[in-house]
Structure 1
Amino acid sequence: MDSTDIDDPMDYHDIDDVSDTEGGFTSDFTSAPQTPSTRHGSPPPTTPRGNSKIISIETSFDAYFQQHARPARTSTNIFSQLVPPLSADEYAAAFANSRNVELTLPNVGQLQKKMETVHKSQMPRFQRELDEGFHLIFYGFGSKRKMLNTLATEHCRKRGHVIVANAHRPQFSMKDLVSSIESIPGLTEMSLPASGLDGQIRRICEYFATPPSGKRKLVRPLYLIIHNLDAPPLRSSRARAQLGQLLASPRIHVAASIDHINAPLLFSSSDLTARRCASSSANPDALSAGAWLWHDLTTLAPYDHELAFADRSSIRGASVSSTSAAAAQTAASGPMTETAAQHVLAAVTQKAKKLFLLLANHQLDALAESAAGANADATTRNGAEAEQDAAIAYDRLFNLARDQFIATNDTALRALLGEFRDHGLVVAANSGTVGAGEMLWIPLRKERLKKLVDWLDAQ
């Protein structure tokens, strides 16, 4: 019996089922043999008699640094937000208030139920078109995830194997899709024609194109339900070519959704006009290409699942990087918050805390002067530009830190700043002014920065 796990990125292969937390660990300290002539250090640590095991319990600070561990960026030009992003709590509160759609569309609930009833009545038609050799694309305003999952569980599952792919997730890749398909019983028993991902795809196509012979029955067809066929992981030419090989099989059918306005540009004229035989045909030499049928599946449902991993939205501000890796990293770690800053500050030395207070107080004073000047000139600037205007030059910060005996040399100052820069608590950028050098600032709003300074003063 086939099973379809709608909540996982892939059916048959749960790529999200990975535990990333560790509990306490037990360590045994034993004395290792040493060479007397070359080892003159202190003896190895020993434990009291009867207590040969030490249990270390993970604290909240350890959990924070484990979850936010990431490699250093090679570029410092990363502060490109037009507006300061909201914290997680502010974003959740604003999103909850925006869910009151009755103010703009009073009958939205009734319309959603009516559209859902109409779409469910068309499910047998969609199933028939898939069996006749067509691929289906669903477009329209609103999330189509629920309707496609209904098509998978209530119709396609009764006729063949079903794989549900959530392509909108940042970690999705063609390798995960192929691995999920290979989880179908009996597929891996065939020999692999070539190594690598292309060889796996060829084996999948050969498996579903094998005609019945003797006691071997006709292989049940495969139905691929792809959420967001226009997602970034499937836009590359290589991913499109690999997916095209799967679609060429006469017994592999696809029902996918699109949401991007330029998604039709992904299809060529030959893709849109080709025709192939029905899946009931056992001829492996049938027409390889399959036609796409487009259906309006407007649901007016919110894009909760699709936008859960988005790196930008109008309420959170622009993303800090345009690369897909940085986008997934931003979606996982999120912007700097007061709680995250407190975790970082609690783990640094007293000199580092004094340096942060020095930088924060200077930035608060500069922001106050900038706000007073803006009110006098009747001009406004967004929060990100104001923070950059309040930045302090590295040379000036070094002089202030040396006068207060925080760092007496350049090496010591850069070592203290390294902790903050690695965790995104201090941002550095080269100034456009000749001779100004490196500029430093804290990427926090004035209100958050003031609360953080008060918290440090209370320590």
Structure 2
Amino acid sequence: MASRGGDRALPTSAASGAAAAAAEEMEEGGEEEFGFSRNYFLAKEIGSASGKRSAARKLSDIDLVDEQVLRTSLAGIATKHEKEIKALLKRYKDLYPRWLFELRCGFGLLMYGFGSKKVLLEDFASTTLTDYGVIVINGYLPSVNIKQVLITMVEVLWDQLKVNRKCPPNKSKMQLPSSSQTIDDILSFLDSQISTDNDGFICVLIHNIDGPALRDSETQQHLARIACCSHVRIVASIDHVNAPLLWDKKMVHTQFKWCWYHVPTFAPYKVEGTFFPLILASGGNAQTTKTALVVLQSLTPNAQSVFKVLAEYQLANEKEEGMPVSTLYTKCRERFLVSSQVTLNSHLTEFKDHELVKIRRHSDGQDCLYIPLSTEALEKLLQELV
């Protein structure tokens, strides 16, 4: 019996020792796992709390720098790698004869690459295109009048042909197109009524053909038709990463006939950037309008219509402190935009969350709604909000 008990005692002892070791290991692992879990939930709790705090802050709460001060500081930044940049531009100048040859063959030149290409293109025009009329279009400007550009093109080309005595005698007294004519009429005149001598072309130099004022489909179609004219050549630059998406295969190969050149200059966009508000600067009405437009376009058509009612009221009553909520509700009900006060409140909540609409107390004690945009910015927003 003793031996049996001894026989049984050994495995029992071993088992208990193994169990104790396992328990100790589990305890240590448990403590480690518990510590990890505790730290995880503490981090989540702190993150949630900080997230709530950060969500309460808005871009308008940040103390931004005055735009003029920021631009002055940027202008004072010293240029680096001047020798390397000059050597790079010298290599591009060696390409001028080739570029002129391609223009005379009927192709267009499209320059892309990092850095402003304004100085490079204007240097090419002033040194190599001296025998041809040159018209410069600054596509980075907020607005460009394509019709006026076309009229100027006709006048420049007509004068050039007269100087070179290549104008047909029977057309020397022909009346040139005026601003009262349509763009199609001017394009037809430009393409068919003037001599088609290959040497009698003018060059249209377009800085940023992908600029905000030129990147819509209709304008690009007009520019493509201009490029098709036998006595017009286009030299353009692009900087937007999605600029090639402006054109289809026909426009690229048949109309513009682009010869692509990678010409990074690493020059700052000083002139081009003048018309765009800086992100870290205050007072950017254009950027505010663009942001408001993006937010409104993401809302439902009913919500956009409610906003229009408020905007139109604000423009018609500039001297008032705002539009009473009850007045807005009445006008929206009359136009069948909302069916109840709850629906209107849901729209107003969205507006307030995105800072499109704010509330202030009227002199008679009632809450009034107003849009924190200038009159000019609000008018532009209503024009673009279709």
TM-score category, normalised to shorter length: 0.5 to 0.7
Range that drifts further, 184-193 or 221-230: 184-193
User: Is 2:147 aligned against 1:175?
Assistant: yes
User: Is 2:208 aligned against 1:232?
Assistant: no
Query: Which amino acid counterpart does residue 186 of structure 1 have in structure 2?
Result: W
For residue 167 of structure 1, report the CA deviation from its aligned partner: 1.4
Match of 2:71 among 77, 92, 99: 92
Distance 1:152 1:207, change over 3 A: farther
Residue 394 of structure 1 is matched in structure 2 by 361
CA distance in 1, matches of 2:88, 2:272: 20
* Cα offsets for 1:265-305 (capped at 9, x unmatched): 0121223333xxxxxxxxxxxxxx35211101111111011
> In 2, are the aligned partners of 1:190 and 1:203 still within 8 Å (CA)?
no
For residue 225 of structure 1, report the CA deviation from its aligned partner: 0.8
For residue 313 of structure 1, report the CA deviation from its aligned partner: 2.4
Residue 266 of structure 1 is matched in structure 2 by 246
Distance 1:290 1:440, change over 3 A: closer
CA distance in 2, matches of 1:197, 1:82: 47
> In 1, are the aligned partners of 2:133 and 2:157 still within 8 Å (CA)?
no
Could you tell me the TM-score, scaled by structure 2's length? 0.54
> In 2, are the aligned partners of 1:80 and 1:320 still within 8 Å (CA)?
no
Q: Give secondary structure in 1 for the equivalent of 2:275.
A: coil
Query: Which amino acid counterpart does residue 138 of structure 1 have in structure 2?
Result: M
> In 2, are the aligned partners of 1:130 and 1:136 still within 8 Å (CA)?
yes
For residue 254 of structure 1, report the CA deviation from its aligned partner: 0.7
Residue 280 of structure 2 is matched in structure 1 by 315
CA distance in 2, matches of 1:243, 1:197: 11
Size of the aligned set, in residue pairs, is 240
Residue 235 of structure 2 is matched in structure 1 by 255
CA distance in 2, matches of 1:298, 1:146: 12
For residue 226 of structure 1, report the CA deviation from its aligned partner: 0.6
Distance 1:124 1:180, change over 3 A: same
Match of 2:119 among 127, 139, 146: 146
* Cα offsets for 1:90-148 (capped at 9, x unmatched): 22343245x2455xxxxx21221111111111111111111111111000011100110
Residue 174 of structure 2 is matched in structure 1 by 190
Match of 1:301 among 267, 275, 285: 267
Residue 157 of structure 1 is matched in structure 2 by 130
Query: Which amino acid counterpart does residue 361 of structure 2 have in structure 1?
Result: Y
CA distance in 1, matches of 2:63, 2:147: 36
Distance 1:195 1:439, change over 3 A: closer
> In 1, are the aligned partners of 2:224 and 2:256 still within 8 Å (CA)?
no
For residue 176 of structure 1, report the CA deviation from its aligned partner: 2.7
Residue 85 of structure 2 is matched in structure 1 by 112
Q: Give secondary structure in 2 for the equivalent of 1:127.
A: helix
> In 2, are the aligned partners of 1:393 and 1:436 still within 8 Å (CA)?
yes
Match of 1:203 among 189, 200, 224: 189
Query: Which amino acid counterpart does residue 92 of structure 1 have in structure 2?
Result: R
CA distance in 2, matches of 1:200, 1:178: 7
CA distance in 1, matches of 2:222, 2:66: 39
Residue 166 of structure 1 is matched in structure 2 by 138
* Cα offsets for 1:290-326 (capped at 9, x unmatched): 521110111111101111111x322225612129x9x
CA distance in 1, matches of 2:227, 2:62: 43
> In 2, are the aligned partners of 1:161 and 1:220 still within 8 Å (CA)?
no
> In 2, are the aligned partners of 1:235 and 1:266 still within 8 Å (CA)?
yes
Distance 1:83 1:242, change over 3 A: farther
Could you tell me the TM-score, scaled by structure 1's length? 0.46
CA distance in 2, matches of 1:219, 1:109: 38
Q: Give secondary structure in 2 for the equivalent of 1:295.
A: strand
Query: Which amino acid counterpart does residue 274 of structure 2 have in structure 1?
Result: A
* Cα offsets for 1:379-435 (capped at 9, x unmatched): xxxxxx9xx8xx87314x655xxxxxxxxxxxxxxxxxxxxxxxxxxxxxxxxxxx9
Distance 1:211 1:182, change over 3 A: closer
In structure 1, stretches of 5+ residues that fail to align are 1-78, 103-107, 213-217, 275-288, 326-351, 356-384, 400-434, 444-459
Aligned counterparts, 1:440-459, within 5 A: none
> In 2, are the aligned partners of 1:192 and 1:199 still within 8 Å (CA)?
no
> In 1, are the aligned partners of 2:115 and 2:269 still within 8 Å (CA)?
yes
User: Is 2:369 aligned against 1:438?
Assistant: yes
Distance 1:189 1:258, change over 3 A: farther
Residue 128 of structure 1 is matched in structure 2 by 101
CA distance in 2, matches of 1:237, 1:143: 24
Range that drifts further, 183-192 or 229-238: 183-192
Query: Which amino acid counterpart does residue 303 of structure 1 have in structure 2?
Result: Y
Q: Which structure: greater helix fraction?
A: 2
Q: Give secondary structure in 2 for the equivalent of 1:314.
A: coil
Aligned counterparts, 1:268-417, within 5 A: 268-274=248-254, 289-310=255-276, 312-316=277-281, 319-322=287-290, 393-395=360-362, 398=364
Distance 1:205 1:81, change over 3 A: farther
> In 2, are the aligned partners of 1:225 and 1:254 still within 8 Å (CA)?
yes
Distance 1:119 1:180, change over 3 A: same
CA distance in 2, matches of 1:222, 1:299: 26
For residue 438 of structure 1, report the CA deviation from its aligned partner: 2.9
Distance 1:268 1:321, change over 3 A: same
For residue 151 of structure 1, report the CA deviation from its aligned partner: 1.2
CA distance in 2, matches of 1:253, 1:82: 50
Structure 1 segments (4+ residues) deviating >6 Å: 439-443
Distance 1:195 1:147, change over 3 A: same
Q: CA RMSD in A?
A: 3.7
> In 1, are the aligned partners of 2:224 and 2:251 still within 8 Å (CA)?
no
Task: Mark the structure with the bigger radius of gyration.
Answer: 2
